[in-house]
C-alpha cells in the first residue's frame, strides 16, 4: 500500500479545519474516544451536528498558550492508500511553516471560499506550490452551500484560477466544488451538484497516480551507513546502506563514487538481507562494490553515464526560519540528506516577494519568513542536482552550529 503526503492551504475561515475533520470523520478514521469528546464539546449545537473543525482546532488553544506549532500532521488510512496530511498555518507570518510542511508533499489542496473567489492568499499559496514544484494541485472550491451550489460561481473561480496557474506554470490541476461542513463531494458524491461529474475528494486522493512522481532515470544513492560485520563468515563483507533517492541500480553496472570521482562496478544489490538483481527508488538497499574504496556516510554512488553536479559553491533559494536574522559571512552546517558539511553564506543577491514572485533588493538583514536568492560556499564538495530537475536531491537545510537549530530551508538552483 503506497503513501500520499499532501498539505492543505487556505485563507482564514476557508474551512480548512472542517475539511480535514470531515475527511477523518467520513472515512471512519476517528477513534471512539475522540468522537465522544467531539460530541460532548458540541452537544449544545441547535442542529445536533458535530463540529468537525475541533479535530484540528485544538491546536489553536496551544498557540494561545504560547506553544509554537510549526506543522501539525494527521494520519489516516483507507483500503486503497495511506495518507499524511500536513496542516500548516496560512498567514504571511507563517511562510516558513507553509514551506516546511509542503517540502515533501506530492499534492497540495488549496481551499477557495466560493463567496470570495481567488484572493491574495490563494495566489501566495500557489506561488509557494510553484516554488516547491509540487506535482499535483487540487483547488477545493468550498462553501458551495452558501452560494446555492451555483455552477456559474464555480466556473468563474475555475477561469480565474486558470490564469494564476498559467502565470506560475502549475500543472496537473484538479477542481472540486464542495461543502466541507455538509460533506458534499468530500467522501461521497454530492446530489446537490449534479452538474459536477468528477470524483469526490477522497476518491481522487485515493486514485491520483504517484508512480510518475518517482524519477527512475537519474540514479542517485547516498550512503547512510557502512556495514562491516567483521565476523568469520563475513570477514571481507563491506556494504553501503541507504535509500535509493531516484533511479534504478543493477548488479554489474558501472558506477562512480562522488565526490571522489572513482569508478567501479556494483558486485551485488541487497534488499532486506537478500540479494536481488536490481533495486529502485524509493527502496532502501545495500550496495556492494567490486573495488575497495574509501567511502563514508554522505558519499554518493551514481551511474557513470549520468553524473550530478559537484561543487563547493551553490546558488540557492533560502527560506529563513530563525528568529535571529541571517548575517552574510556567518558559518553554518549544511545538511543534504545524510551528508553534512560546513558552509558559509557568502552573498545575498535579492529577496523574493512571496505574494508576487517579484525580486526586491535586500535592505538590511534577512529576517524570519523571508525568501532570498543567495550564494553558499561549502568547506567540502557537494554532490547535487538542481531542485528544478530533481527536488529530492536538490534540497537541504542550514543548521546553526551553536544551537543546533534549523535556520533555513534550502532549494539548490545551480
Structure confidence at residue 87 (pLDDT): 75
Dihedral angle computed from the Cα positions of residues 13, 17, 23 and 24, in that order, rounded to the nearest 10 degrees? -160
Structure confidence at residue 120 (pLDDT): 82
Instruction: Give the separation between CA 28 and CA 25, rounded to whole angstroms.
Output: 5
Architecture of domain 220-303: Beta Barrel (2.40)
DSSP 96: H
Measured in whole angstroms, the distance separating CA 65 from the mean position of its chain's CA atoms is: 28
CATH class of 309-412: mainly beta
Instruction: Give the separation between CA 117 and CA 132, rounded to whole angstroms.
Output: 24
Q: What number of other Cβ atoms are within 10 A of residue 327's Cβ?
A: 11
Instruction: Give the separation between CA 212 and CA 218, rounded to whole angstroms.
Output: 14
Give domain limits for the chain.
3-213, 220-303, 309-412
Instruction: Give the separation between CA 381 and CA 341, rounded to whole angstroms.
Output: 9
Q: What number of other Cβ atoms are within 10 A of residue 292's Cβ?
A: 9
The CATH number corresponding to 3-213 among 2.60.40.10, 3.40.50.300, 3.40.50.150, 3.90.1200.10 equals: 3.40.50.300
Cell 451536528 sits on residue: 49
Q: Give the angle subtended at the CA of 362 by the CAs of 359 and 367, to the nearest 5°.
A: 110
Predicted confidence pLDDT, tens digits, the chain (414 residues): 688 989 888 876 677 778 888 888 777 766 555 555 555 555 545 555 555 555 555 545 444 444 334 556 788 888 889 998 887 665 555 666 777 777 778 899 999 999 999 988 888 888 888 888 888 999 999 999 999 999 999 999 999 999 999 888 888 899 999 998 888 999 899 999 999 999 999 999 999 988 667 888 999 999 999 998 766 676 678 899 999 999 999 999 999 999 999 999 999 999 998 999 999 998 999 999 999 899 999 999 999 999 999 999 999 988 888 888 988 888 899 999 999 999 999 889 998 887 777 888 988 888 888 889 999 999 999 999 998 888 889 989 899 888 888 888 889 988
Do 309-412 and 3-213 have the same topology in CATH?
A: no
Where is 162: in which H helix or E strand?
helix 151-168
- The answer to whether the Cα torsion of 113, 104, 359, 321 is positive or negative is positive
Instruction: Give the separation between CA 110 and CA 140, rounded to whole angstroms.
Output: 6
What DSSP line would sit under 285-346, residue for residue?
EEEEESS-----TT-EEEETTS--EEEEEEEEEEEE--SSPB-TT-EEEEEETTEEEEEEEE
Nearest CA to 96 among 401, 326, 334? 326
Instruction: Give the separation between CA 105 and CA 301, rounded to whole angstroms.
Output: 26
Grid coordinates representing 195 are 452538474
Quickly count helices (H) and strands (E) in the chain. Answer: 7, 23
Nearest CA to 6 among 79, 70, 87, 78? 87
Dihedral angle computed from the Cα positions of residues 212, 214, 219 and 222, in that order, rounded to the nearest 10 degrees? 170
Grid coordinates representing 314 are 551553490
Grid coordinates representing 57 are 482546532
Amino acid at each position: 500500500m503506497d503513501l500520499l503526503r499532501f498539505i492543505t492551504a487556505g485563507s482564514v475561515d476557508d474551512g480548512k479545519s472542517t475539511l480535514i475533520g470531515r475527511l477523518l470523520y467520513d472515512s471512519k478514521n476517528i477513534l471512539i474516544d475522540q468522537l465522544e469528546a467531539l460530541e460532548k464539546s458540541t452537544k449544545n449545537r441547535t442542529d445536533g451536528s458535530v463540529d468537525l473543525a475541533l479535530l484540528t482546532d485544538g491546536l489553536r488553544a496551544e498557540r494561545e498558550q504560547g506553544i509554537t506549532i510549526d506543522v501539525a500532521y494527521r494520519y489516516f488510512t483507507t483500503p486503497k492508500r495511506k495518507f499524511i496530511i500536513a496542516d500548516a498555518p496560512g498567514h504571511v507570518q507563517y511562510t516558513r511553516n507553509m514551506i516546511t510542511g509542503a517540502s515533501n508533499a506530492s499534492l497540495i489542496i488549496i481551499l477557495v471560499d466560493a463567496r470570495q473567489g481567488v484572493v491574495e492568499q490563494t495566489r501566495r499559496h500557489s506561488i509557494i506550490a510553484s516554488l516547491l514544484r509540487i506535482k499535483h494541485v487540487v483547488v477545493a472550491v468550498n462553501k458551495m452551500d452558501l452560494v446555492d451550489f451555483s455552477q456559474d460561481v464555480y466556473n468563474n473561480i475555475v477561469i480565474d484560477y486558470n490564469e494564476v496557474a498559467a502565470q506560475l506554470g502549475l500543472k496537473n490541476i484538479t477542481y472540486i466544488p464542495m461543502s466541507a461542513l455538509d460533506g458534499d463531494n468530500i467522501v461521497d458524491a454530492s446530489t446537490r451538484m449534479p452538474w459536477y461529474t468528477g470524483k469526490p475528494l477522497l476518491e481522487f486522493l485515493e486514485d491520483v497516480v504517484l508512480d510518475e512522481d518517482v524519477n527512475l532515470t537519474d540514479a542517485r544513492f547516498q550512503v547512510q551507513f557502512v556495514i562491516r560485520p567483521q565476523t568469520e563468515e563475513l570477514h571481507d563483507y563491506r556494504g553501503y546502506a541507504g535509500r535509493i533517492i531516484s533511479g534504478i541500480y543493477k548488479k554489474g553496472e558501472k558506477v562512480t563514487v562522488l565526490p571522489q570521482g572513482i569508478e567501479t562496478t556494483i558486485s551485488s544489490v541487497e534488499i532486506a538481507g537478500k540479494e536481488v538483481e536490481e533495486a529502485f527508488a524509493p527502496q532502501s538497499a545495500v550496495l556492494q562494490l567490486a573495488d575497495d574504496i574509501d567511502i563514508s556516510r554522505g558519499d554518493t554512488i551514481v551511474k557513470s553515464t549520468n553524473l550530478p553536479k559537484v561543487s563547493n559553491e551553490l546558488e540557492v533559494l533560502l527560506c529563513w526560519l530563525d528568529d535571529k536574522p541571517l548575517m552574510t559571512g556567518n558559518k553554518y552546517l549544511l545538511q543534504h540528506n545524510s551528508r553534512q558539511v560546513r558552509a558559509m553564506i557568502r552573498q545575498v543577491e535579492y529577496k523574493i516577494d512571496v505574494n508576487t514572485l517579484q525580486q526586491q533588493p535586500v535592505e538590511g538583514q534577512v529576517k524570519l519568513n523571508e525568501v532570498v536568492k543567495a550564494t553558499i560556499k561549502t568547506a567540502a564538495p557537494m554532490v547535487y542536482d538542481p531542485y528544478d530537475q530533481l527536488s529530492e536531491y536538490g534540497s537541504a537545510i542550514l543548521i546553526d552550529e551553536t544551537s543546533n537549530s534549523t535556520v533555513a530551508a534550502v532549494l539548490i538552483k545551480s
